[in-house]
Chain A
Amino acid sequence: MNLTLKIWRQKDSKSKGQMVDYKVTDISEHMSFLEMMDVLNEQLVNTGEEPVAFDHDCREGICGMCSMYINGEAHGPDRGVTTCQLHMRMFKDGDTITIEPFRAKAFPVIKDLVVDRSSFERIQQAGGFISVNTSGNTQDANAIPISKHAADEAMDAAACIGCGACVATCKNSSAMLFVGAKVSQYALLPQGQVEAADRVLNMVAQMDAEGFGNCTNTGACEIECPKGISLENIARMNREYLSASLKG
């Protein structure tokens, strides 16, 4: 198929950006979206132009590195996938595809489609851990039974890949789904209980300090999340936050 691409080009964080049109031809429907981008970049390199910068790494939907806002949707039109797993069979010959970076105040653009998500790092550093040293003397892994239900729910929350689609898609640029997922994972496990109150207060404080917006329950994040992280995690975080504040 032949396509027209409208892509955000921005030299660096200080420069002004703009949409630029490109054409690609003979794109196979079996290609992944990023392989289509590879074709474009090979074309650009061969004509001495600078290729379009975009983040990507594992290309199997788990590292969370790839982003891109495609035709107005984080990770594009398919559901339950990251951009690297999006396939060209979702598009048809003659389509025009608009490709922008994830946009949020807390995700400044580094170059073209690459954004700086270090705000997510700082939120995790504020409390996304259980304070246990490596010792080799930790109690046996089976010492505390954990109900299958709780373990499975914790796993579902822990499946977050930290890509930032929830933020990019939210009209308030809220990071509640991302933070809620981490808070939930630990809140559901006995090991996470000791620090639960401090964790939720510190992570939420950092989230606010980074300039992420508030949640107004539109649920767009849940729909766009490539890993299907449930809104339930935001509710759980709110409960944790409330009870931690009251204990305060």
Chain B
Amino acid sequence: MALDSKVPEGPIKDKWTTYKDKINLVNPANKRHIDVIVVGTGLAGGSASATLAELGYNVKAFAYQDSPRRAHSIAAQGGINAAKNYQGDGDSNYRLFYDTVKGGDYRSREANVYRLAEVSANIIDQCVAQGVPFARDYGGLLDNRSFGGVLVSRTFYAKGQTGQQLLLGAYSAMNRQIARGKIEMFNRHEMLDVVIVDGKARGIIARDLVTGEIERHSAHAVVIASGGYGNIYFLSTNAMGSNATAAWKIHKKGAYFANPCYTQIHPTCIPRSGDYQSKLTLMSESLRNDGRIWVPKNLEDVKAIREGRKKPTDLSEDERDYYLERRYPAFGNLVPRDVASRAAKERCDAGYGVNATGEAVYLDFASAITRYGIEQAKIHNISNPSDAKIYELGQKIVEEKYGNLFQMYEKIVDENPYKTPMMIYPAVHYTMGGVWVDYNLMTTIPGCYCIGEANFSDHGANRLGASALMQGLADGYFVLPYTIGDYLANDIRTGKISTDLPEFEAAEKEVSDRINFFINNKGTKSVDYFHKKLGNIMWNKCGMSRNAKNLEEAIKEIAELRAEFWKEVSVPGGDKEFNEELAKAGRVADFLELGELFAKDALNRNESCGGHFREESAEESGPQKGEAKRDDKNYAYVAAWEYKGEPANAVLHKEELKFNDIELKQRSYK
């Protein structure tokens, strides 16, 4: 099947408006007879569920947690971008579009990104109307901050809990519809398969995670909003339960999976401390507004710090290497995430890591605290303030901006980051790859949509900070509710879909068989044993830096691990009960397939772009020496994989990327 992105004709600025004017609508009376299933209730799924219900559709929403409010969007800290230009610093829809395409290293679809920029301002309006308490200045207007990879201040925030507040906004909108009966909410439920009738997605098979019952649910369309697959690395900043199962199940039933190798390794996370570790914690990118990243200039100082003979604060300014400011004078500490992560790895690989594992760099707030302190002293008319007073005043401002992040750091690391620099290291955070969708956000299965992090569309090979929240809400509030109507307009006479159809029966049997296998296998190794092993392969061979040899090994090792999993996995307990090990087993089984496709995709893409760095493809000389080298001639395409029984047999389909409104050039942040 040839891939049709269905991007409308016309100038990029008019595409979305013109398209919306022309697509089919469903009249309000008919909407009442149409059911939509939404899997996942984070920013994308939550906002889509609420909006579809407001429009009049009957929505069934599914979350594996005990409430939609727990979805992992809640953990997003720093902010949400919108081209409001409230700061008058030259922002516009075009600039947000340009920054996002450039930040994504020219591997996203222009028309989708432009639409994202276009609706971004509406998101802020909508959220304020819902009562989201964004940060404000003393005049009562909304405040902004800057994020990496851009030269304007367009990020709106609610302390360090922006994701939480936006999710609670979407959750409140859902609650209003749950109360009206327009959303039927299924908490503690997990989707285990999609049901396809006459070539169209018509329902799902779900498991009640409390009783263990397998349920059939039918609908006229199915929306997958289940987030990303970062947990394939075992250690990531994702929630423990975040998984790829819903996305992988639709892939196995016909939805192409695009660019699985595009992973974001976030530069500012708390370094790992031991083998027992279950997850990694992110420190918001917003910290790079005020924090300066450095390692010691001399290896003797590194050694002294590791052995505890010296403290970072003992080092004078010229004994420090502010390597981002040195290498990228124009963007400094605010280079995009992929660039910052690779630079940290480069320093640590060269032996400059500042903790026992050798995998940590400093993020230092001393200059910001002093700068704010001097400003505050002036504001409060304090003449000749002492250093201690300046520090005290400055610390207050930093605390106001990032208090909860500093507290979180102190609780985990047991060090006071106001007094000593934070230690950070990159960690897996977000996956730009995902289910392939067209301009309507429909997958290659008719009637099956995919929104938010679960799809591939907007961030190319690298996502800019504060853009995930923007995309989730854009898809759910402003894009899908239009595009899905165009499809559902053909379903006004279909009537209720019966769950007694043989297709439901077959899908349910497949799900039950697999569950029975896990319960009865009685192997010798726990699910986590396999998950950790997979994580190790992924991190060591498909991590921040990749090469053909390692990727070929990874493919082989993952296939072997998968075979061992199906022989040796052990799941205690029964199927008709609350059984977390059983739920985990199903998720890890899917990760073990996705992991192999991931490595295969990374091997196929013999170029460096965004978060995907191939050692074979770096600049060899000139001012950009060592930087990633893209190959537009051969790889300016989306790699969409079709499932053919085994990941090894997956078939590659290419969607060529055309850039009419942006000139392709090397990304330079120097």
Say if the beta carbon of B344 comes within 8 Å of chain A.
Answer: no
B318: chain A residues within 8 A (beta carbon)? none
B74 touches A58 (CB 8 A): yes
A34: chain B residues within 8 A (beta carbon)? 278
B330-356 interface code vs A (CB 8 A; 1 in, 0 out): 000000000000000000000000000
B176 touches A131 (CB 8 A): yes
Sampled A-B contacts (26; CB under 8 Å): A32-B278, A38-B528, A44-B572, A58-B74, A60-B281, A63-B72, A63-B74, A63-B75, A65-B66, A65-B70, A78-B411, A87-B414, A111-B210, A116-B66, A117-B67, A118-B187, A121-B187, A125-B176, A129-B173, A134-B126, A134-B173, A135-B126, A138-B129, A148-B140, A151-B135, A162-B67
Say if the beta carbon of A30 comes within 8 Å of chain B.
Answer: yes
Cβ 8 A contact of B577, one of A12, A45, A147? A12
Q: Which residue of A lies closest to B574 (CB)?
A: A50
- With A60-B75, A121-B187 given, is the CB distance from A148 to B136 under 8 Å? yes
In the docked arrangement, what's the CA distance between A51 and B137, Å? 50
Q: Which residue of B lies closest to A88 (CB)?
A: B276
Q: Which of B549-582 contact A (CB under 8 A)?
A: 570, 572-573, 577-578, 580-581
Listed stretches A153-161, A215-223, A229-237; interface member: A153-161
Listed stretches A98-106, A166-174, A184-192, A239-247; interface member: A184-192
A129 touches B526 (CB 8 A): no
Q: Which residue of A lies closest to B64 (CB)?
A: A57
Given contacts A57-B72, A147-B140, 10 further A-B contacts (CB under 8 A): A35-B278, A51-B581, A63-B72, A126-B179, A134-B47, A148-B136, A148-B137, A148-B140, A158-B158, A158-B165
Say if the beta carbon of B478 comes within 8 Å of chain A.
Answer: yes
In the docked arrangement, what's the CA distance between A42 and B159, Å? 37
- With A53-B578, A192-B131 given, is the CB distance from A64 to B69 under 8 Å? yes
A117: chain B residues within 8 A (beta carbon)? 66-67
Interface size grouping (class) on chain A: 35 or more
Which of B47, B139, B164 neighbours the largest number of chain A CB atoms within 10 Å of its CB?
B164
In the docked arrangement, what's the CA distance between A155 and B572, Å? 44
Q: Which residue of B lies closest to A153 (CB)?
A: B133
* Shortest Cβ gap from B243 to chain A (Å): 11
Say if the beta carbon of B477 comes within 8 Å of chain A.
Answer: yes
A111: chain B residues within 8 A (beta carbon)? 210, 577-578
Cβ 8 A contact of B572, one of A50, A55, A110? A50
A120 touches B67 (CB 8 A): yes
Say if the beta carbon of B130 comes within 8 Å of chain A.
Answer: yes
A35 touches B133 (CB 8 A): no
B132-175 interface code vs A (CB 8 A; 1 in, 0 out): 01111111111000000000000000110100110010011101
B578 touches A62 (CB 8 A): no
A55 touches B66 (CB 8 A): yes
Say if the beta carbon of B631 comes within 8 Å of chain A.
Answer: no
B161 touches A128 (CB 8 A): no
Cβ 8 A contact of A134, one of B50, B161, B175, B570? B50
Listed stretches B2-10, B117-125, B254-262; interface member: B117-125
- With A151-B134, A155-B133 given, is the CB distance from A62 to B165 under 8 Å? no
Say if the beta carbon of B197 comes within 8 Å of chain A.
Answer: no
A133: chain B residues within 8 A (beta carbon)? 54
Q: Which 6 A-B pairs have the closest CB atoms?
A: A145-B140, A129-B172, A154-B133, A155-B133, A141-B128, A125-B179
In the docked arrangement, what's the CA distance between A146 and B134, Å? 10
* Shortest Cβ gap from B59 to chain A (Å): 13
Prevailing SS type, chain A contact patch: loop
Say if the beta carbon of B624 comes within 8 Å of chain A.
Answer: no
A63 touches B141 (CB 8 A): no
* Shortest Cβ gap from A2 to chain B (Å): 15
Say if the beta carbon of B86 comes within 8 Å of chain A.
Answer: yes
* Shortest Cβ gap from B464 to chain A (Å): 21
B284-295 interface code vs A (CB 8 A; 1 in, 0 out): 000000000000
- With A12-B577, A131-B176 given, is the CB distance from A138 to B126 under 8 Å? yes
* Shortest Cβ gap from A127 to chain B (Å): 8
B125 touches A139 (CB 8 A): yes
In the docked arrangement, what's the CA distance between A57 and B278, Å? 11
B412: chain A residues within 8 A (beta carbon)? 32, 85, 87
Say if the beta carbon of A94 comes within 8 Å of chain B.
Answer: no
Say if the beta carbon of A61 comes within 8 Å of chain B.
Answer: yes
B136 touches A158 (CB 8 A): no
Q: Which of B68-86 contact A (CB under 8 A)?
A: 69-72, 74-75, 84, 86
In the docked arrangement, what's the CA distance between A118 and B175, Å? 12
- With A28-B274, A57-B65, A162-B67 given, is the CB distance from A191 to B175 under 8 Å? no
A39: chain B residues within 8 A (beta carbon)? 276
Cβ 8 A contact of A158, one of B65, B133, B581? B133
In the docked arrangement, what's the CA distance between A43 and B176, Å? 44
In the docked arrangement, what's the CA distance between A124 and B142, Å? 27
Which of B51, B133, B581 neighbours the largest number of chain A CB atoms within 10 Å of its CB?
B133
* Shortest Cβ gap from B171 to chain A (Å): 8
Say if the beta carbon of B432 comes within 8 Å of chain A.
Answer: no
A191 touches B133 (CB 8 A): no
* Shortest Cβ gap from A193 to chain B (Å): 10
Q: Which of A28-78 contact B (CB under 8 A)?
A: 28, 30-32, 34-35, 38-39, 42, 44-46, 48-51, 53, 55-65, 78
A211: chain B residues within 8 A (beta carbon)? none
